[in-house]
Amino acid sequence: MSTAIAPAPDTIPGEPMLVVDGVEVRLSGREILHDVSFAIGAGEFTGLIGSNGAGKTTLLRVILGLQQPSSGSVLIDGRPRGRRNAVIGYVPQKVLIDPDMPLRARDLVALGLDGERPGIPLPSRRRRALVEEMLSAVDATGFADARVGNLSGGEQQRVLIAHALISRPTLLLLDEPLANLDIRSEQEVVELIARIAHEQKLAVLISAHDMNPLLQVMDRIVYLAAGRAASGTVGEVVRSDVLSSLYGSHVDVLHVHDRIVVVAGQATGIDDGTAARHENLDFVRLS
Amino acid sequence: MTGRLFEPGFFTNGAVHTALLVGAVVAVISACVGIFTVIRSQAFAGESLGDLGTTGGSASYLLGVSDPVWGFAIAALIGAGLIELLGVRRRPDRDLATGIVLGAGLGLAALFLYLDTTSSSTTGVSITILFGSLFVFNTATLPALIALGAVALALVAVSYRMLLLSSISPELAAARGIPVRLVGAAYLIALALAVALAAVTIGAVLSTALLIGPPATALRLTKRPGLAMLTAAAIGVLTTWLGILLAYDSYYWPPVQHGWPVSFLIVAAIFAFYLLAQLPALRRQTDRRTPVAATTNP
């Protein structure tokens, strides 16, 4: 029941960049993640979908090594993760930067290059060229010299993505990068990530509470509900039978135009209504 | 009163030379450390550590130690250790821990200052500890002052990028393998040393002005982290020297012809610079507000 659909190895193009195997997390007696397993191949765009409190951030923290799992393992590029995340780029949730912070967009991107090193950075032509190249890759050249704290949500996301990508990672993790963005910036950020992922053969794991903005670009989906995960293609996972078994109660999957809405149906067992109710709200917003 | 900018003897007076040198050293250290105090919103910790320095300063007078800089520094370091031990990473708890340590330390300081005053039957010591002594600075203290300052600067220089990234987002820093807690503790040590040195020279009560004022002014003037640090150092040195010059000149000022306190004049210069740096922002705000007021109040 926990892993409704185990990904067959041959469905992953190329080597698996990330393998999450049987990860369980218990925090002060409460089970946050239960036997979560999935794999992401190089160059694959994967959405980590679930409502607030489903365990998305905890799962990302386990992959980053910031949270020790009670059991299970995480392999990155075939190796157990080391102390430093050289191959992982990370965009955390809700980075609040004060408008008074003396930090230009290009300074934040430069910190992505060597932010963990001791000492004061010396200006170099190579460094400046790399930052310039990354800024233009995320279309941030126009506001490169503005204070990060004065940028809009979408602009800040692009700068944070550039910060995450400048060290040339092979795996990019983004925690709710679309939260608090208006629909247009939402679309721009999704297209940007998809384009860069494709160009750089980057494995992307992006968490979101709504799968719809990602439907066009997602290769695979990891659906989290109440700490359990189902993974596969959208067609394999976002089905009434699979999600009902995940939630432990009946849910309907409705296709409205190009969008998918998950709606709680008649409760049949354990009622974990939070996620379903949330998707309901999304449905209301649509209509 | 001669009314000249540099009154006679300013450039030849030994006490003035010492004051200019010590003032500059302390201003540079305060500015480089203070930039991060402002960015990390740790002004309360800075103020508290300066006040805790008073406890050590007054204790060292009581013990007859000729060099109060060690008393200030050790008390501030102990304070920093206690704050780090009691306060967990969450900011509300940290402020609470700082407040509790501050309260306990100031209680002791009150006792020591009382004993200092009663044993020496003069209030001079208390005034020196609380409000500083740039002109009567003991040159024998200079090596210790520079050594402790160098430690504070080295801590900030070594952890510069890690500190910056931890201040932007602890989550982002931790994901890159930066030991966020350790970097924060190292910074607290640098902060304790910087305020202890400022407390010895311009007084425990006024040390925060030197720590926060020039960096807060610099943040208005530049948007680059490294440049902000240099600007803050320049403003710190400039305002300190201006304060010393005015204090020297003030011996010729009415009404008393007795000299004004140098620490007061330094803090006044810092505050004036801060207000000047606010002006462009203030004007922008009023410009923006005017049309809004007109539409909401037809």
Which tokens belong to A179? 């939260």
Which tokens belong to B150? 């160098």
Residue A207 has pLDDT above 90, yes or no: yes
Listed range (A3-12, A178-187, A218-227) with the worst mean pLDDT? A3-12
> Are the Cβ atoms of B223 and A88 closer than 8 angstroms?
no
> Residue A12: helix, strand or coil by DSSP?
coil
Mean pLDDT within A246-259: 85
Q: Give the CA distances from residue B258 to residues A125, B247, B251, B261, in Å, rounded to whole numbers and listed in that order.
A: 57, 10, 5, 10
From B223's Cα to the closest Cα of chain A, the distance in A is 4
Kindly report the number of other CB atoms within 10 A of residue B11's CB atom.
Answer: 9
Please report, as a single letter, which amino acid is at residue A205.
L
Q: Would you call A104 an interface residue with chain B, using a CB distance cutoff of 8 Å?
A: yes
Q: How confident is the model at residue B192 (pLDDT cuts 50, 70, 90)?
A: very high
> Are the Cβ atoms of A116 and B226 closer than 8 angstroms?
no
Tell me A122's DSSP state: P
For CA atoms B254, B255, B258, B264, the dihedral sign is negative
| B168, B178, B223 ranked by CB distance to A116: nearest | B178
Angle (nearest 5°) at CA A113 between A112 and A117: 100
Which pLDDT belongs to residue B284? 67
Q: Across chain A, how many H-helices and E-strands are there? A: 8, 12
Tell me B251's DSSP state: G
| A97, A98, A119 ranked by CB distance to B158: nearest | A119
d(CA A174, CA A90) in angstroms, rounded, equals: 6
> Are the Cβ atoms of A64 and B175 closer than 8 angstroms?
yes
Q: Please, what is the end-to-end C-alpha distance for chain A in angstroms?
A: 33
Residue B295 has pLDDT above 50, yes or no: no
Which pLDDT belongs to residue B285? 64
> Are the Cβ atoms of A102 and B223 closer than 8 angstroms?
yes
Higher-pLDDT residue of B175, B7: B175
> Are the Cβ atoms of A116 and B176 closer than 8 angstroms?
yes
The whole-chain average pLDDT of chain A stands at: 82
Mean pLDDT within A43-70: 89
**How far from chain centre, in Å, is Cα A265?**
28
Residue A8 has pLDDT above 50, yes or no: no
| A102, A108, A114 ranked by CB distance to B222: nearest | A102
Which pLDDT belongs to residue B122? 60
Say what the pTM is: 0.84
Percent share of chain A, pLDDT over 90: 28
Contact B134, B201 (CB under 8 A): yes
| B162, B169, B222 ranked by CB distance to A116: nearest | B162
Which pLDDT belongs to residue B158? 96
Which tokens belong to B272? 């004036």
Q: What residue in B sits closest to A62 (Cα-Cα)? A: B175
From B224's Cα to the closest Cα of chain A, the distance in A is 5
Contact B199, B207 (CB under 8 A): yes
Q: How confident is the model at residue B296 (pLDDT cuts 50, 70, 90)?
A: very low
Which tokens belong to B137? 């600075």
Listed range (A48-52, A59-63, B35-39, B137-141) with the worst mean pLDDT? B137-141
Q: How confident is the model at residue B297 (pLDDT cuts 50, 70, 90)?
A: very low
Q: What residue in A sits closest to B41 (Cα-Cα)? A: A98
**CB-CB neighbors (< 8 A) of A107 in chain B:** 224-225
From B218's Cα to the closest Cα of chain A, the distance in A is 9
Q: In terms of C-beta density within 10 A (0-12 exposed, 13-18 middle, 19 or more buried), how is residue B179 classed?
A: middle
Residue B263 has pLDDT above 70, yes or no: yes
pLDDT in tens, A73-90: 898 887 777 655 668 899
Q: Would you call A267 an interface residue with chain B, using a CB distance cutoff of 8 Å?
A: no
Which pLDDT belongs to residue A60? 93
**CB-CB neighbors (< 8 A) of B182 in chain A:** none
Which pLDDT belongs to residue B150? 96
Q: How confident is the model at residue A270 (pLDDT cuts 50, 70, 90)?
A: very low
Q: Give the CA distances from residue B25 to residues A262, B13, B32, B98, B129, in Å, rounded to whole numbers and listed in that order.
A: 65, 19, 11, 27, 19
Helix axes B180-202, B207-221, angle to 10 degrees: 120
> Residue B254: helix, strand or coil by DSSP?
coil
Q: Give the CA distances from residue A240 to residues A5, A226, A236, A260, A265, in Å, rounded to whole numbers and listed in that order.
A: 14, 16, 10, 12, 10
d(CA B280, CA B298) in angstroms, rounded, equals: 28
Is the bond leading into B68 cis (omega within 30 degrees of zero)?
no
d(CA A202, CA B119) in angstroms, rounded, equals: 74
Q: Which of A259, A271, A180 is nearest to A225 (CA)?
A: A271
Q: Would you call A46 an interface residue with chain B, using a CB distance cutoff of 8 Å?
A: no
Q: In terms of C-beta density within 10 A (0-12 exposed, 13-18 middle, 19 or more buried), how is residue A284 classed?
A: exposed
Contact B68, B129 (CB under 8 A): yes
Q: Would you call A114 an interface residue with chain B, using a CB distance cutoff of 8 Å?
A: yes
pLDDT in tens, A23-48: 999 988 888 899 999 999 888 999 99
Q: Which of A68, A87, A111, A159 to mutate against chain B (most B CBs within 10 Å)? A: A111
Backbone angles phi, psi at B95, to 5 degrees: -65, -40
**CB-CB neighbors (< 8 A) of A114 in chain B:** 161
Q: Which helix (H) or strand (E) element contains residue B35?
A: helix B14-39
Please identify which residue in the block is written with the tokens 């002791």.
Answer: B108
Mean pLDDT within B33-58: 89
Contact A170, A151 (CB under 8 A): no
Mean pLDDT within A183-195: 89
Contact B171, B177 (CB under 8 A): no
> Are the Cβ atoms of B172 and A95 closer than 8 angstroms?
yes
Q: How many CB pairs under 8 A join A and B?
A: 91
Contact A207, A57 (CB under 8 A): yes
From A115's Cα to the closest Cα of chain B, the distance in A is 5
Which pLDDT belongs to residue B142? 87
> Are the Cβ atoms of A83 and B177 closer than 8 angstroms?
yes
Contact A163, A108 (CB under 8 A): yes
Which pLDDT belongs to residue A238? 86
Kindly report the number of other CB atoms within 10 A of residue B283's CB atom.
Answer: 10
**CB-CB neighbors (< 8 A) of A171 in chain B:** none
pLDDT in tens, A85-138: 668 899 998 788 888 899 999 999 999 988 888 888 888 888 899 999 999 988
- Contacts of residue B8, Cβ cutoff 8 Å, sequence gap at least 6: B2
- State the ipTM, two decimals: 0.82
pLDDT in tens, B195-216: 999 988 888 878 899 999 999 9
Q: What residue in A sits closest to B229 (Cα-Cα)? A: A102
| B39, B164, B228 ranked by CB distance to A111: nearest | B164
Q: What would the DSSP string read from start to end of B153-216?
A: HHHHHHHHHHHHHHHH-HHHHHHTT--HHHHHHHHHHHHHHHHHHHHHHH-TTTHHHHHHHHHH
> Are the Cβ atoms of B169 and A108 closer than 8 angstroms?
no
Mean pLDDT within A155-162: 92
> Are the Cβ atoms of B177 and A100 closer than 8 angstroms?
no
Q: How confident is the model at residue A244 (pLDDT cuts 50, 70, 90)?
A: confident
From A286's Cα to the closest Cα of chain B, the distance in A is 34
Which pLDDT belongs to residue B210? 93
Listed range (A8-12, A56-60, B80-84) with the worst mean pLDDT? A8-12
Mean pLDDT within B168-193: 91
Q: Which of B4, B132, B161 is nearest to B69 (CA)?
A: B132
Percent share of chain B, pLDDT over 70: 89
d(CA A184, CA A6) in angstroms, rounded, equals: 35
From B280's Cα to the closest Cα of chain A, the distance in A is 14
From B77's Cα to the closest Cα of chain A, the distance in A is 23
Q: Which of B42, B156, B164, B168 to mutate against chain A (most A CBs within 10 Å)? A: B168
> Are the Cβ atoms of B168 and A102 closer than 8 angstroms?
no
Which pLDDT belongs to residue B102? 86
